[in-house]
Structure formats: C-alpha cells, structure tokens
C-alpha cells in the first residue's frame, strides 16, 4: 500500500527548499468498480487511479499543479511547475494564509467494508438484478441503459503548517433507464440512487421504480395551459434546491457578487416552515467527512432558519477575507484550488406524508421527473422545467399522466409565499436532501 | 514502453483472452483566467495512464491504472481477464465486427508549443485581452480564459494495430455581463484553434471580446422575442448544437441497438426533408480531428442522412456486429480510465446553395436564431424532444433581418424540425472547443459542431 502522507510530507519539503512562503499537498487514491449495461450487461471494469496536487504560495502569489503519477521524479517536476506558475501569477491581496488548524469531527457510515473489499462481480450481479426486476415488472419493459459504480478512496492533506490529515470513504452510484412499449406507444423513464453503503441500495427497487414510471406514462397526454397547485415529489424538490442554492450560498459566490443572497443575512427569504441546513456530519451522508479538503473539521451550519437567512459556507480563503472561521466546506480535486461548496444540504422535513399531500389536493400536478430544470436561473430565481414524468391530481387522487408540459415560476417568490406543505419523505439527489413539497400555484404551459 | 505493452498483450492472450488492446494516454492541460482586468487563476494538470481491454469468449473485461510499470501492468491485465471471465456467466456476448488492422501515426501541426510558452507571457496576454472588453460603465463583469490541451494516445492490439496520435488545442473563452437600465444580460463565446500558441498571432482576440461586450450591451437594451411558433433561419452555431444533441445522439449505435433511440429500426425511411444530408466526419477544417477511434478503427466520413433518408448509424465494433453493419470508427473513450462508447466526431449538415439573403427573403415574420451567447439545453432521445438556450437573435420581417432581441429559448421535436427544413445555406463553419465537449455515460468527448445556415418552417420560440 502506498503511504500518501509520506509522499505529501516529502513534497512539502521539496517546495520549502524552493523558498515558497507556504505549500500544501493534496493526494488521492481511488479504486472504482463499475458496470455498464444496455439491454444486458455491456462491460465491467476496475479502475485504479491516483492524484497529486500541489499548491504553493510565494508572496501572496499562488501556483497549483496536478498530476496522476506519484513517482518521486514526477512529483519533483510538479512542485517546480507550481513554483513557476506562482512566480508568473499576480499577487492576490485577499490571500492571508493556508489552514493552520486541523480538526476531526466524529462521523459514521461513510466507509463501507463491503464496498472496499468487493469484487467487480458484485456490480455485475447487481446489474442483473436490475435487468430481471424490470423485465419481471412487465413484459413490455426493456432495460436500455444503466450504470453501477462503487468507489473506495483515500485522501491525504499535508501543509507547511504541519497539518497531516488522512481520511477514507466509499460510495455507490446507480442509474437505470428502461423503455415500455405497448400498442404502438413508447415511453422511457429512469431511476437513480447515490449512497455511501452497499446495503443502502435496493437494486430491485430502483429497476421496478423506473419500469413502473415508464409503464405509467404510456398514455400521457398534453394538458391545457393553466395555473394550478404543483407538488414537487422529493427528488425533483432536491434537484431544484440544488440548482437554486447549490452555487449561491458559498462565500466565494457571495464575495464575487454572483449570489442573490448577498446582503440578505438576517432577512426573511422564505416562509417560516422553511429550514435549510448544511450538515457535513450527517450519518452516512453522501458528502459527509470528518474534515474538509483543507483539514478543517466539518460541522452543521444553518443556512435558512424559520425562513431567515443565517449563514454562508466558507473555506479558509473566503473566511480569512472576512476575518472569520472556515465552516469546513472546502472542496477540491487534485488539479484544482479549493472552493467552498455545500456538503449535505438538507431541507428539513415536515409532518405530512406524501399520500396525505396528494389526498388534500383537489386539483393539481404531481411532478416526479423533469428535464432542463438545471437551465433555471439561480440569480433571478426564474425557474422552468419540462415534465417527463408527472400526473394530474383530481379530488385527492392521481389521475392521468401528462407529457410535454413545462412548469414555470419564480423560486424566490415560491419559497417565500407559495409553500403550502412540506412532507416527511426525505430523499437525496447527490448531496442534496429534500422531502416532497406542495406549491400553492405555478404556471403550466401546455396546449395553447 | 511499446515493448512492455507487447508483453502485456502476450500475457493477456496467455491467460485465455482471444483479444487484447492496450491504450496508453498522456493528457496535459492549462487554464488561465482573468476577470475584471485582473489575473484570477492558473490551473495546470498532467495525467497519464493505461487502460486494457481483454475479450474472453466474446465477453469483454476492462481494467486501468495510473501507476505505470511492468509489474502493475501485468496485475492490470490479469484483473481485466478476471473481469471478462467473471462477466461471462452473466453478460451478453459482445462480438466485435471484423476490421482491418492499421499501423499509423497522426498528429496536429503545432508551430509554437503552448506548454513551452512562458507562464508570464500567457498570463499577461489574457489580462490584456480581458481589459479591452471593459468598454464602459454598462459592462459589469468580464471574464476571459485561455485554455490549452494536448492529448497523446497510443493504441496497440493483439490484431496488430499500432496507432499513435496527438492533438493539441488552443482556445480563448470570454463572457461579458452588461447592465442597462436595471436589465442584466450575459453573453459568452469561445474560439478554439486546432494547433498551438501561433493561434494568437493570427486571431484578433481584442476584436472578439469587444464584440461580445457590445452584444451584451445591445442585448440588455433589446426587447424580448414574442413566444410562439415561427419560421426561423438558424445559424451554423445553433444548427450544429441542435443536430448534435437532438439528432446525433439518436443516431448513436448503442442507443439504436438497445431500442432507446427514436431512430431504431428506421434505416431507409424518409425522416427529414429532401434538403437534409447529415454526416459525421473525422477530419474537417475547424473540427476536432479523429483519425482513428479508441478501438483502432479508421474514422472517415459516415453518411447518416442522404437527401432526407436515414442511411446509417454511428457504430463501434460491438454495435456494428449487433446491427449487422460495418463499424464507422465512432467508439471513443474520454481517457484511459474509460471504455469506448459510441460517440459523434464532427457531426453536421452538408451545405446547400442558398445565400443568407435568399434564406430570409421569403419570411414575412420570423427569427434569425444565433448560437453565439447561448448555451445549455436538454434532449429526450427516446421522443426526440429538445430545448436549447440560443443567444441574442434577430427579428426577420418582410424578408429582411431587422432588430436584435434578447436571448431566446427554442424547442421542438427533432424529426418534425428536420421535416420542416425548406432551404439550406451555402455558408459553412465547423468549430470545436477546448473548454467543453459532449457528455455521455459520464464521459466527455471533444467534438466539432456547426454546418450551414438552415431555414426551418416551424420552431417554438420562448423568452428566457
């Protein structure tokens, strides 16, 4: 086994000999086991990769360089290259210093022995479970594409302030798509799941969900353009929270004037039932870790509390700029500079079950899956999404499937004035966790 | 290195594989960014590694590593064979269609190596270009980036194919944000040259960024388009994007073979108007050069649609064999860590003989849709529905191009759109980008987009 910390310490010393003010090394080692499927399993693979990233500072001038080799001679050259880049750069007056304080928050559920010790055969077996479950669901269903990827990684951080930190993690990412065909009609639908532990993924359930969605929308029709209540099923709610908050609550975007939330701390930006929290310590959370990519201990940071904007997320650089503490939200890869970003972003659940929310909707639209929602504008809050899986609700019951319609509205207005109910069925899309929510009114563009 | 790779192939065959290929790759890239007249960042990367495919009884297995020495490579080929043998129990056979074997070297001509150009010179250039885009107080943000990439690939197979290629891209990306009377508008564009730093000797970068700033100001002052369905003329940038995303993906052999594509089982059918001929071409001026794919298959010009009739698909060796057709050299892998999947190269509509004036002269009211300044879109390949953000565009009234409107969104169903093409321009432009590419199955591939200007009978226009 390669000793990442040893390589890191050595590289910091090489940089110090070149008279840099500060140096930081970020090392990664990753094993990924993966299976790709079409109608059946197409190919399986194992990939082993490593990364070495060096950041040097010379009189507030920053140089970084990343390589995949961990060999001594390549590392030496990489450090020299980073120094060259730093010397060519202009000084950044906002840069104060690298992180000096290492901390570790106890977290659990982020390293799964079952994934770390598995063979690629396990992904192939899981793929077969998905294929057979989809076909078993209905004879008219055909699997068309899918991915199962299980990864195990180790990360090490060393810097010239004596920080030496190392952590491990595992994750699994699954995506499955199938097509239903009946009486000349065709429809496709997908399902996905990301988790930290193998046991948290039910492959049969993923395939059955995709298959049942595809079958359910075979008879989908276009409906008239109108205004009506819209229920955002949990995954769509999580996607929208991600699009609107994912890149706007980090201090870097705020300091760069790219966030609509700048100067709004302490203000009511959402209704009182709206609570958003960044939790880097969540049990088995997709982005949970004991410390961030600079070695700073992770924590819980309330973003919106009872509708009031409370905090932004910081790494060392953005925190130093405002003379405050990092919130442990630095994220980077071996070839990029750290930037603050959300860890696990959770919209706190309410009491309502999804069934209840549907039952008390006289007439409305249930939105399950969309495309194009990420084209919405997080600065102005203008949002739109094309519904690919959605159903009309009448008198508290799911009635007919709809297709080809677009929903639109302003997210900033919606979270302040239009959230009627928040469900209790939290699920995640990547690191964004949200329950189903009911919006009092949105615009639906359909038949004109 | 070649000697070690030959040993790996021999070892794979000895362990029971009937086919082995080794892909070695070295990728270098740099990105330098300046914002609002100041240097902001310089990212630099060098990655290398080896990916090995082995086929045992028609079932493939793949393993890759970034640690390159003979011992690790022997372990890697062993793992690939083990995966193939394990997969055999549960996977479908993926028979490779027969192809010729080649021994060849191809590389892009580079006059000035952009990686050897001093870092100071590159930083200075980008900061200077960025400053020229600050035209007035109406410009609120300008961001300029220099991107360079070198991609060296070495492919060696047990069938005797031995190919070395190297591509180098040098490009400039710029975004200007203008605010006029409280209305903000952002436009961005990029220009990429297939070659080295000599690009900056020939390209008028200052004019490029100043024009974008002017466009941002004009667009901020402009009215929005009136949502509705109109006849349009689409420029090469936007028609290239629509064709690639909404039609190109549907013509990819894996989606065709699995039945996911709207084009499955329709060869020989008339699917577009007779004005439409669509090709995928590995070597076209301005596009991304693909001489051979990552299965060592020679890439030439593949005809997909001939005079409105579906004539072919994009195929890898496996999908060709599944569909009973010939491979087209479209199996491409992002890098050594990934297995090749069916991808487009430079995908475009062949030009016709209309001038831009002739394209617009019969339109009473419609829009001249421009790609520049737009970005993003999404497609459902199963149905063929698409939505894209185009850039600031122009009204066409009484046969003439009139005033500018703000960025528009366009949407439709691709086969209906292609059927309503009623004239094709004689202008022609293909571009590639060092800053982006096409994503599929978690892999990115450099592609070329573009074509002629095209007149489309019906397109749904929305505001943005």
Note the pLDDT tens digit of each residue in A288-343.
999 999 999 999 999 999 999 999 999 999 999 999 999 999 999 999 999 999 99
pLDDT for the residue numbered B94 = 78
Predicted TM-score of the model (pTM): 0.90
> Are residues A88 and B441, on separate chains, in Cβ contact within 8 Å?
no
Mean pLDDT, to the nearest integer, of A175-190?
92
Mean pLDDT, to the nearest integer, of B269-287?
97
Give first-to-last CA distance, chain A, whole Å. Answer: 64
Grade residue B91 by pLDDT with cuts at 50, 70 and 90. Answer: confident
**CA-to-CA distance for B174 and A360, rounded, in angstroms?**
50
Q: Angle at which helices A121-137 and B70-88 pack, to 10 degrees?
A: 30
The pLDDT tens digits of the residues spanning B131-177 come to 999 999 999 999 999 999 999 999 999 999 999 999 999 999 999 99
% chain A with pLDDT above 70: 100
Instruction: Select from A42, A46, A371 the Cβ nearest to the Cβ of B378.
Output: A371
pLDDT for the residue numbered B387 = 84
Residue B373 clears pLDDT 90, i.e. is over it: no
Residue ranges with strand state E in A264-396: 276-279, 300-305, 308-309, 330-331, 339-340, 345-347, 363-371, 382-394
Residue B316 clears pLDDT 80, i.e. is over it: yes
Report chain B residues whose CB lies below 8 A from the CB of A41: 87, 90-92
Residue A438 clears pLDDT 90, i.e. is over it: yes
pLDDT for the residue numbered A448 = 60
Report chain B residues whose CB lies below 8 A from the CB of A64: 42-44
Mean pLDDT, to the nearest integer, of B406-420?
90
Give the HSE-up count for residue B89: Cα atoms under 13 Å, Cβ half-sphere: 10
Rounded to two decimals, the ipTM of the complex is: 0.86
Mean pLDDT, to the nearest integer, of B375-404?
88
Mean pLDDT, to the nearest integer, of B324-352?
96
pLDDT for the residue numbered B227 = 83
Grade residue A266 by pLDDT with cuts at 50, 70 and 90. Answer: very high
pLDDT for the residue numbered A91 = 94
Q: Write down the residue that tokens 């009609």 correspond to.
A: A185
pLDDT for the residue numbered A253 = 94
Residue A231 clears pLDDT 80, i.e. is over it: yes
Helical (H) or strand (E) element with B121: helix B119-132
Q: Which residue of B has its CA nearest to A376?
A: B464
* Averaged pLDDT of chain B: 94
> Are residues B67 and A120, on separate chains, in Cβ contact within 8 Å?
no
Grade residue A256 by pLDDT with cuts at 50, 70 and 90. Answer: confident
Coil vs helix vs strand at B217: helix
**CA-to-CA distance for B311 and B266, rounded, in angstroms?**
9
> Are residues B378 and A386, on separate chains, in Cβ contact within 8 Å?
yes
Q: What is the per-residue DSSP string for A230-273?
A: EEE-HHHHHHHHHHHHTTTSBHHHHHTT--TTTT-TTSB-S-TT
Grade residue A234 by pLDDT with cuts at 50, 70 and 90. Answer: very high
Residue A380 clears pLDDT 90, i.e. is over it: no
Report chain A residues whose CB lies below 8 A from the CB of B66: 48-50, 68-69
Report chain B residues whose CB lies below 8 A from the CB of A50: 66-67
> Are residues A124 and B259, on separate chains, in Cβ contact within 8 Å?
no
**CA-to-CA distance for B459 and B396, rounded, in angstroms?**
14
The pLDDT tens digits of the residues spanning A99-151 come to 999 999 999 999 999 999 999 999 999 999 999 999 999 989 999 999 999 99
Mutate to test the interface with A, among B28, B58, B66 (most CBs of A within 10 A): B66
Grade residue B1 by pLDDT with cuts at 50, 70 and 90. Answer: confident
Mean pLDDT, to the nearest integer, of A161-177?
97
The pLDDT tens digits of the residues spanning B202-223 come to 999 999 999 999 999 999 999 9
Other beta carbons within 10 angstroms of residue A443's beta carbon come to: 15
Buried b (16+ CB within 10 A) or exposed e, B266-278: eeeeebbbebbbb
Residue B337 clears pLDDT 70, i.e. is over it: yes
The pLDDT tens digits of the residues spanning A401-417 come to 998 788 989 999 999 99
* Averaged pLDDT of chain A: 95
Buried b (16+ CB within 10 A) or exposed e, A266-288: eeebbbeebbbbbbbbbeebbbb
Residue A220 clears pLDDT 90, i.e. is over it: yes
Q: Write down the residue that tokens 């090995």 correspond to.
A: B52
Coil vs helix vs strand at B316: coil
Residues within 8 A of B (CB atoms), A 188-217 only: 188
Residue B376 clears pLDDT 90, i.e. is over it: no
Q: Which residue of A has its CA nearest to B253?
A: A38
**CA-to-CA distance for A289 and B58, rounded, in angstroms?**
42
% chain A with pLDDT above 90: 88
Mean pLDDT, to the nearest integer, of A157-185?
95
- Dihedral (C-alpha) B190, B191, B192, B198: value to the nearest 10 degrees? -130
Other beta carbons within 10 angstroms of residue B421's beta carbon come to: 21
Mutate to test the interface with A, among B50, B119, B226, B321 (most CBs of A within 10 A): B119
The pLDDT tens digits of the residues spanning B232-249 come to 999 999 999 999 988 999
> Are residues A36 and B441, on separate chains, in Cβ contact within 8 Å?
yes
> Are residues B67 and A64, on separate chains, in Cβ contact within 8 Å?
no
Of A81-85, B83-87, B118-122, the one with minimum mean pLDDT is B83-87
Task: Give the residue, B229 or A309, on which the prediction is more confident.
Answer: A309
CA angle A227, A231, A237 (to 5 degrees): 120
Residue A447 clears pLDDT 80, i.e. is over it: no
């Amino acid at each position: 086994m390669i000793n990442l910390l040893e390589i890191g310490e050595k590289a910091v010393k090489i940089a110090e000999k070149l008279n840099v003010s500060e140096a930081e090394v970020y090392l990664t080692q990753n094993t990924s086991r993966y299976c790709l499927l079409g109608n059946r399993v197409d190919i399986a693979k194992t990939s082993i990769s490593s990364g070495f990233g060096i950041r040097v500072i010379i009189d507030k001038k920053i140089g970084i360089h990343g390589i995949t080799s961990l060999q001594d001679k390549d590392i030496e050259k990489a450090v020299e290259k980073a120094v060259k880049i730093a010397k060519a750069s202009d000084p950044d007056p906002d840069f104060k210093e690298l992180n000096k304080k290492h901390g570790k928050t106890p977290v659990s559920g982020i390293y799964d022995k079952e994934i770390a010790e598995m063979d690629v055969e396990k992904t192939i077996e899981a793929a077969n479970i998905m294929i057979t479950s989809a076909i078993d669901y209905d004879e008219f269903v055909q699997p068309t594409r899918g991915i199962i990827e299980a990864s195990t990684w180790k990360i090490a951080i060393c810097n010239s302030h004596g920080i030496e930190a190392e952590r491990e993690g595992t994750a699994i990412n699954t995506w499955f798509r199938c097509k239903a065909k009946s009486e000349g009609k065709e429809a496709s639908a997908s399902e996905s799941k990301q988790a930290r532990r193998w046991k948290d993924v039910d492959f049969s359930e993923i395939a059955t969900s995709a298959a049942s969605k595809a079958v359910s929308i075979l008879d989908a029709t276009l409906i008239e353009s109108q205004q009506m209540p819209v229920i955002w099923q949990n995954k769509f709610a999580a996607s929208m929270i991600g699009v609107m908050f994912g890149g706007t609550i980090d201090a870097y975007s705020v300091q760069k004037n790219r966030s609509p939330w700048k100067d709004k701390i302490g203000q009511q930006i959402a209704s009182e039932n709206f609570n958003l929290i960044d939790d880097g310590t969540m049990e088995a959370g997709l982005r949970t870790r004991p410390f961030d990519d600079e070695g700073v201990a992770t924590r819980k940071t309330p973003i919106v509390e009872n509708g009031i904007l409370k905090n932004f997320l910081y790494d060392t650089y953005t925190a130093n700029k405002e003379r405050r503490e990092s919130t442990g939200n630095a994220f980077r890869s071996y070839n990029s500079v750290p930037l603050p970003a959300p860890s696990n972003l959770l919209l706190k659940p309410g009491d309502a079950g999804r069934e209840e929310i549907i039952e008390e909707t006289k007439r409305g639209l249930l939105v399950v899956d969309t495309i194009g929602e990420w084209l919405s504008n997080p600065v102005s809050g203008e949002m739109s999404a094309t519904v690919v899986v959605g159903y009309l609700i009448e008198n508290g019951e799911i009635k007919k499937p709809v297709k080809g319609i677009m929903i639109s509205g302003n997210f900033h207005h919606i979270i302040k004035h239009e959230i009627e109910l928040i469900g209790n069925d939290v699920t995640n899309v990547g690191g964004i966790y949200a329950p189903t929510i009911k919006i009092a009114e949105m615009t639906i563009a359909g038949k004109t | 290195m070649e000697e070690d790779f030959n040993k790996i192939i021999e070892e794979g065959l000895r362990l029971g594989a009937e086919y082995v290929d080794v892909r070695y790759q070295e990728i270098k890239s740099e990105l330098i960014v300046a914002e609002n007249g100041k240097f902001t960042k310089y990212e630099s990367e060098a990655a290398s590694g080896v990916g090995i495919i082995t086929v045992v009884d028609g079932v493939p297995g793949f393993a890759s590593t970034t640690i390159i020495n003979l011992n690790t490579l022997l372990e890697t080929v062993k793992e690939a064979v083990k995966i193939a043998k394990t997969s055999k129990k549960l996977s479908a056979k993926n028979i490779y269609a027969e192809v010729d074997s080649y021994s060849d070297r191809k590389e892009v001509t580079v006059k000035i190596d952009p990686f050897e150009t001093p870092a100071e010179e590159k930083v200075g250039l980008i900061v200077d270009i960025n400053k020229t885009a600050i035209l007035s107080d109406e410009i609120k943000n300008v961001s300029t980036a220099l991107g360079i990439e070198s991609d060296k690939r070495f492919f060696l197979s047990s069938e005797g194919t031995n190919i070395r290629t190297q591509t180098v891209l040098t490009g400039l990306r710029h975004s200007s944000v203008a605010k006029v009377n409280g209305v903000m508008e952002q436009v961005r564009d990029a220009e990429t040259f297939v070659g080295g730093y000599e690009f900056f000797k020939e390209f008028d970068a200052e004019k490029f960024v100043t024009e974008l700033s002017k466009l941002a100001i004009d667009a901020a002052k402009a009215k929005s388009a009136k949502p509705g369905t109109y006849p349009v003329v689409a420029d090469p940038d936007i028609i290239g994007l629509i064709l690639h995303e909404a039609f190109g993906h549907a013509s990819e052999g894996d989606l065709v073979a699995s039945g996911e594509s709207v084009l499955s089982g329709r060869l020989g059918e008339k699917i577009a108007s007779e004005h439409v001929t669509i090709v995928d071409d590995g070597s076209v001026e301005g596009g991304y050069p693909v001489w051979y794919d990552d299965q060592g298959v020679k890439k030439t010009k593949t005809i997909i649609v001939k005079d409105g009739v579906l004539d072919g698909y994009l195929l890898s060796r496996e999908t060709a064999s599944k569909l009973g057709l010939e491979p087209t050299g479209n199996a491409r892998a992002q890098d050594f860590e990934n297995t090749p999947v069916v991808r487009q190269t430079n995908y475009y509509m062949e030009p016709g003989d209309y001038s831009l004036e002739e394209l617009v002269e019969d339109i009473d009211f419609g829009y001249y849709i421009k790609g520049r300044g737009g970005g993003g879109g999404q497609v459902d390949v199963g149905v063929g529905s698409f939505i894209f953000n185009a850039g600031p565009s122009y009204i066409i009234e009484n046969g003439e191009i009139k005033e500018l409107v703000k960025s528009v969104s366009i949407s439709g169903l691709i086969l209906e759109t292609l059927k309503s093409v009623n004239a094709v321009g004689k202008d022609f432009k293909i571009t590639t980008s060092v800053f982006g590419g096409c994503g599929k199955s978690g892999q990115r591939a450099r592609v070329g987009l573009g074509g002629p200007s095209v007149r489309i009978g019906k397109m749904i226009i929305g505001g943005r």
